[in-house]
Chain A
Amino acid sequence: MSCWQTVQDYGLRSLGIGERLLPKADFTLCQQFTLIGSGMLWNIYFGVLALGLGFFMATALALGKASPSPLIRKPSDWFIFLFRGSPLFIQFFLAYEAFVLLPRNGIDIPLGIVTLTAETRWLTKAWAGALIVLFLNTSAYAGEIFYGALQSVPKGELEAADAYGMTGWSKFRRITWPTMLRLAWPAYTNEAIFLFHATALVFFSGFPAWRQQGDALYYASYFADKTFNPFIPYPIFAGYFVLLTLSVIVVFGAINRRLNRHLATERRSRLRLRPQIIR
């Protein structure tokens, strides 16, 4: 069987398209590259969606945490504490067990005359359940980063905005928020990288891989178990992840340059990769 044939058979296996059975014996290098690469689709799916949605939630959480009103501040504080203070691994387990306990045939929501039945089964599937956990988790981490940046917004810029007569939304939109993002961006890039890394946890915690449709690490460990040789699948997995990390750095670096474009070169904040955050 040619390698191209293998790619056609297994290239989208993680989505359930192509060959139904995974290779059982005589594993070729091509099969390992194809299947692990196919699993990367899940890592990208979880990472991109969780980050994209989490960004807005994180901004809201940062503002909530900086709010003078305890009614807003306390819930944001607790949310951030809950998700940053506990391991993601436990959060996955907990969420899965909670979703499983939801009634099988949906929850009936009476709305006057009509009754709405909310389907709950899909929550126990990794694509939805794990995504929710990752979304909440990255919101909490990024919220804390944004809050820290919000506290570091230079006083002079805010006073200048006041002097120009800016208030409320326009002051936030034009002064506070861009500066907050600029200050937070190096740390947020780290958060993005480690969120992508965290997506590898999904199929190792509560959420089962439905019909053996798993992420890259799921297939890598599948091969390692079958061949009893960890020295091939895990380096392949590592190579894919290095590529993914580099792409994240390129994209976030471009955004960083845009956020810093008004500053003199030596004052620009450079992206420095520090493994400061991990779950």
Chain B
Amino acid sequence: MTSPDRNAILAQLNFARSVPRPVFDFCTDPSLLDDLPWLACYLSTGKHMAFYGSFITVLVLLAITAPIALAFGFGGAMAARSSFAPLRWFGKAYTAMVRGVPDIAFFLFVPIAMDQGLEWLRHKVKCPDWDLPVRQGNDFVVCDAAKLPLSSSPQWVHEGYGFALAVAAFAVVFGAFAANVLYGAMQAVPRGQVETGEAYGMTARQTFWRIVVPQMWVFALPGLSNLWLILVKATPLLFLLGVEDIVYWARELGGSKTSTFTYPHSDWRLYYFLALLVFYLLLTQISEKIFGRLSRRLSHGQATLGGEAQRKAAV
């Protein structure tokens, strides 16, 4: 089990061990520096480099999660349309899941549940002659060989495992969101199209893959682009999963530092969080621009206030 606390401590130890070389030559004694060079040195410390690196972590998570969630969503939507009742119930339950329960509950639940589930399975396979119960009161005890990751494995395996659990949690939750969108899109494909396919003698499987799937994307596009924004805005929750993301570093670096530190400063967390805010605003601004263009095109020529305003502007 990789608890957030242990991760944090391990990370700190890791950074204490490897004292990084300063980026600028004049950074040898920061206490003698003026404001501007001091700031330059301050912003190029090893910890700050890790902070900048964590932005990459967030982008990597987005890049990995988006396709996996889309695949989960596609599977969920297919299951919800299945003619086999138990599979259909499963699909419906999966798509309904995110409507009733806050996503943050899944982010807390899925990683620990998966971790325990995997350890339990490995325990059953690797230690068949273990006779003590796995749950002893308030403890979850598996044999050493079943631990995930193994206690002897290096630091990067621990971090990678934590990150993989986070990806899994994101994929499950956003898969459910995507399943909603894709299910709606599949239903939105005009009925006549499917009927025409059937009239040509196609099987249900053929109409699905040759008629429904190629046409559904145009209906799914608005929902999926919205989902992208949702995913972007959910990334700070990585912090709750014990991954050293931008929120972790912003809190870590922003907290007030006494004069025993090389770069003492008061509580600067506000400025760090402002920086994060700007980062997210930039990410969403780009998307907003694209949506605006799309919605303008869609409301063109409609007999509504929006369409009317466009008509008047054109005259």
Contact = CB atoms under 8 A, between A and B. Distances in A.
Interface residues of A, number: 57
Contacts of B101: 197, 237-238, 241-242, 245
A275 B281 contact: no
A274 B233 CA distance: 18
A252 to B, nearest CB: 13
B18 to A, nearest CB: 29
Interface residues of B, number: 55
Contact of A152 (B254, B276, B304): B304
A86 B102 contact: no
Contacts of B12: none
A87 B103 CA distance: 14
Interface in B60-119: 98-105, 108-109, 112-113, 116
B177 interface: yes
Contact of B285 (A25, A85, A241): A85
Contacts of B273: 90, 93-94, 97
Nearest to A226: B138
A25 B139 CA distance: 12
Interface in B284-306: 284-285, 288, 299, 303-306
A90 B99 contact: no
Most A Cβ at <10 Å: residue of B100, B269, B284:
B100
B213 interface: no
Interface in A147-187: 150-156, 158
A168 B267 CA distance: 51
Contacts of B235: 87
Contacts of A197: 101-104
B240 to A, nearest CB: 6
B312 to A, nearest CB: 11
Interface stretch (A104-112, A117-125, A198-206, A255-263): A198-206
Contact of B267 (A27, A86, A101, A231): A101
B222 to A, nearest CB: 9
Interface of B: 98-105, 108-109, 112-113, 116, 135, 138-140, 177, 180, 184, 223, 226, 230, 232-237, 239-240, 247, 250-251, 254, 267, 269-270, 273-274, 276-277, 280-281, 284-285, 288, 299, 303-309
Interface of A: 25, 27, 66, 81-82, 84-91, 93-94, 97-98, 100-101, 150-156, 158, 193, 196-198, 200-201, 204, 217, 220-221, 224, 226-231, 234, 237-238, 241-242, 245-246, 273-276, 278-279
